[in-house]
Amino acid sequence: MRVMLNHRILGRFHDRLKASARGDHEWLEAFDLDAAQLSEAVGDIDVYVGSKLTPEDARRAKRLRLVHVVGAGYDGIPLDALHPGVTVATTHHHGRSIAEHVLMSVLMLSRDVLGADRALRAGRWRNVAVDPALPFGTTLEGRRVGIVGFGETGTEVARLCQAVGLRVRAVRRDPTAPCPTDLRPDWIGGEEQLPDLLADSDIVVVTVPLTPATRGLIGPAELKAMGPKALLVNVARGPVVQEEALYEALSSGTIAGAALDVWWAGPPDAPSRLPFRDLPNVLMTPHHSGHTADTFAARATEIAANIDRLERGDALTHVVRAPSPDH
């Protein structure tokens, strides 16, 4: 089969992709093609591996059988523009990497690591020994973390939080779904219990996918419900949280701080049209919480295996859009 790889990060694992695949596939690296070249090439491929595809290119890909997204979110793929015979699959393996980032972020905010770092770089010792007015940092044991979404990322966050003594609670679409046996959450509720989760959490971690139902999920009322000592960590998608509402909440002290790894715009644009960079209670990272070698090596292996399954006619894993029965 002819496979187009249009994902620059996964391109660094191209040798693993080819080594993991058992079939004799032809691989086309497309991340250095311009738009016209990509449009011309996409009409002659069986598999597209990437996270974004324009509607025009999706319609042009008449031979296409599989779109394999590099990650869990497929909001960059125009499903309606693909012909009915195309399967769309995703891959994961990011949960542990993101969970470690979440725990790191919570610790940094709880101990004001950014403020201490800035001060010491400027030649000032900033601690409670030299400044009696400075608030103490806090430990994590016994504090309550509320996880919005309880899939791969949410459950991995719960594991690490539980390991350091945080009390875990969560809301998910189906609260009756089985919980991993090693987790001991205080409670798991349905989506309608989000207000209870927010009001009862010292730390709120957002891990839900971006859908029409979750866009703008966290707004002024939700941020107010969290309270002035609460921390927000968003590792989902920027638009799940309302941009202006979050900036106002952080500026006014409605919540204590936030760690943001996802934004409302991407490169080369600024992450936000609002000056979050000027707020001392914000930890900013460039959507890299899942960017570890472990994550992408595992993704390369799984994607290669799914391509082989397609060639053999076997069932694929993590299918989010199956071909229509007529195809």
Q: Give the tens place of pLDDT for each residue, 287-297.
A: 999 999 999 99
CA 135-202-120 angle, 5° bins: 35
User: Domains in the chain and their CATH numbers?
Assistant: 2-93+293-321 (3.40.50.720), 95-284 (3.40.50.720)
* Calpha distance 98→290 (Å, rounded): 5
Sole residue written with tokens 């995703």: 90
* Calpha distance 31→311 (Å, rounded): 24
Q: Is the pLDDT of residue 21 over 90?
A: no
pLDDT in tens, 205-264: 999 999 999 999 999 999 999 999 999 999 999 999 999 999 999 999 999 999 999 999
Q: Is the pLDDT of residue 324 over 90?
A: no
Please list, residue by residue across 51-73, b when 16 or more beta carbons sit within 10 angstroms of its beta carbon and e when fewer do.
Answer: bebbeebbebbeebbbbbbbbbb
By DSSP bridging, strand 87-89 and strand 319-321 are antiparallel
SS3 category, 52:
coil
The DSSP annotation for 212-255 comes to: TTTTT-B-HHHHHHH-TT-EEEE-S-GGGB-HHHHHHHHHHTSS
Cβ-proximal residues to 293 (8 Å cutoff; 6+ apart), any chain: none
Q: Is the pLDDT of residue 327 over 70?
A: no
- pLDDT band for 195, please (50, 70, 90 cuts): very high
Please list, residue by residue across 212-242, b when 16 or more beta carbons sit within 10 angstroms of its beta carbon and e when fewer do.
Answer: eebeebbeeebbebbeeebbbbbbbbbbbbb
| Burial of 197: CB neighbours in 10 Å, binned 0-12, 13-18, 19+ | buried
Ramachandran assignment for 239, one of left (phi > 0), alpha (psi -120 to 50 degrees), beta (any other): alpha
Sole residue written with tokens 């989000």: 194
* Calpha distance 217→206 (Å, rounded): 10
Q: Which residues pair with 170 in a beta bridge?
A: 147, 188
The share of the chain scoring above pLDDT 90, in percent, equals 95
C-alpha closest to that of 303 among 2, 48, 56 = 48
Q: Do residues 255 and 203 lie in contact, with contact meaning Cβ atoms separated by under 8 Å? A: no
Task: Calculate mean pLDDT across residues 6-34.
Answer: 93
Sole residue written with tokens 């660094």: 12
- pLDDT band for 306, please (50, 70, 90 cuts): very high
Sole residue written with tokens 């709880």: 110
Out of 19-28, 76-85, 120-129, 222-231, pick the least confident: 19-28
- pLDDT band for 139, please (50, 70, 90 cuts): very high
C-alpha closest to that of 302 among 87, 40, 68 = 68
C-alpha closest to that of 218 among 249, 183, 252, 190 = 249
Task: Calculate mean pLDDT across residues 139-159.
Answer: 97
- pLDDT band for 22, please (50, 70, 90 cuts): confident
Task: Calculate mean pLDDT across residues 294-323.
Answer: 96
Q: Considering the chain, what is the average pLDDT of its residues? A: 96
Task: Calculate mean pLDDT across residues 25-47.
Answer: 95
